Amino acid sequence: MSEKILAVAAGHEITEQELNNLISNYPPEQQIYMSSPQAKQQVLDQLIAFHLFHKMAVEEGITKSKEYEELVEKVKVELASHMAATSVVEGIQVTEEAEREFYKENQDAFQEKAQVSARHILVETEEQAEQIAEELTQGLGFAEAAGKYSTCPSKEKGGDLGWFGKGQMVPEFEKAAFGGEIGKTVGPVKTQFGYHLILVEDRKEAKARSFEEVQGQIHQQLIQGKQQAAYDAKVKELEEAYGVERKEW
């Protein structure tokens, strides 16, 4: 069965296979977009222009120029070097046993640290903070109070700071937030920025991530490590075989 011809540009028959081959070189997320007829037409137009310019290059002698030949030679060297380097590292694998051993030996790396989700209200004086705290006890909503009184940009989100872990906030704020009871207002808490009222909305305790959760991450890390080791060893072997002289520069 003959291939479907989509266009003929400067005597070159552009087939559906050639179009699909070009689309397959795009990133996966773009390939989804390329499935539409409009997008395929755009790619076909690119192919047509590509072959027209190639014909122009041949007729104007560009393909016989010294600059062209030097560029082709450079690309050939780069391609050959890349293919040789790839051959050294392709096919490298790691076993699940090795992955589990790595997980066992590096437990600390797979710990999810404790986090809290909190809102806050920041004001300049302790008196202001105490007055707002009094309004909160009388029924004013914390988010509403943050929008009304807080000097922090988070006021636009009702004082919401989202989730944060230890080491991300100044010490005084961190101590109060991590020590606060969920749903209860803490403060005033003095920091270098002013006085805070803090409402802890939720808490995540520290826990170890399971092997199944991190296996993909471990696999990639071990593969990359083995590939780098194989690459470095081959470079050393090639230096000894072919010789390298490093100059002062």
Provide the pLDDT for residue 83.
97
Q: In angstroms, how far is CA 214 from the centroid of its own chain?
A: 17
What are the boundaries of each domain within the chain?
1-62, 65-111+210-235, 114-205
The distance between the two most distant Cα atoms of the chain, rounded to a whole number of Å, is 87
Residue type, 205: E
Provide the pLDDT for residue 111.
86
Q: Which residues contact 12 (CB under 8 A, 6 or more apart)?
A: 51, 54, 55
> Could you list the pLDDT tens digit for every one of the 249 residues in the chain?
568 999 999 999 999 999 989 988 888 878 788 778 888 899 999 999 999 999 999 999 999 999 999 999 999 999 999 999 999 999 999 999 999 999 999 988 898 889 999 999 999 999 999 999 999 999 999 999 999 999 999 999 999 999 999 889 999 999 999 999 999 999 899 999 999 999 999 999 888 889 999 999 999 999 999 999 999 999 999 999 999 999 988
At 90, give phi and psi (nearest 5°).
-70, 145
Provide the pLDDT for residue 112.
85
CA pair distance 158, 148, nearest whole angstrom? 9
Alpha-helical (H) ranges within 16-153 are: 16-23, 28-33, 37-59, 66-89, 96-105, 126-137, 142-149
Provide the pLDDT for residue 1.
54
Provide the pLDDT for residue 147.
94
CATH architecture of structural domain 114-205: Roll (3.10)
CA pair distance 178, 189, nearest whole angstrom? 13
Contact call for residues 4 and 49 (beta carbons, < 8 A): no
Q: Which residue bears the tokens 């797979």?
A: 110
CA pair distance 119, 127, nearest whole angstrom? 20
Provide the pLDDT for residue 29.
79
Q: Which residues contact 226 (CB under 8 A, 6 or more apart)?
A: 92, 94
Provide the pLDDT for residue 80.
97
| Vertex 74: Cα angle to 245 and 54 (nearest 5) | 180
**HSE on the CB side for 215, CA within 13 Å?**
10
